[in-house]
Amino acid sequence: MAKKTPKRSFNDVLSFLGGQRFDVAPAQDGAKRLPNAFQVRKYGCAAEIAPTSDDTPEILSRPGVLLNGEIARLLDRGYQKFFKTSKLEIPATADHLRSLHEFSEELKEAMGATSLYNEALGTTSDLYQYDRVKGRK
């Protein structure tokens, strides 16, 4: 069963995250960023959040490990997981995955988002790209 916490307003979430030792800073300019978006960081991981029209928080970019100031996406190739940015790709370590999982769970709880059972068991990847099926349609 999904675990749900009470919904909070965007400003309440920012205050709560600051109180939970998250680093909260305005998001840098980018292609699809909103002007009132914030980047939240903790444990070497980060995500970007922004308010919606009804003042509830929304995750703009999925949580990922920070590599050279960029949020890396988790890539699963079947035999191993990797963190990939626009310029860099590194193998994921158990410490990376633990940090990302803990960060994601704390962020969801702070935002009042639903915590799904399969995500609560461990880290889920952003992209699955297996060798034996690469290129198939």
Choose the most confident range, by mean pLDDT, from 6-10, 33-37, 86-90, 126-130: 86-90
Per residue in 28-85, pLDDT tens?
A: 755 455 678 888 889 999 988 888 888 788 888 888 999 888 889 888 877 788 888 8
Q: Alpha-carbon distance 44 to 26, whole Å?
A: 17
Q: Where along the chain do its domains lie? A: 10-133
pTM (2 d.p.):
0.74
Q: Alpha-carbon distance 34 to 27, whole Å?
A: 9
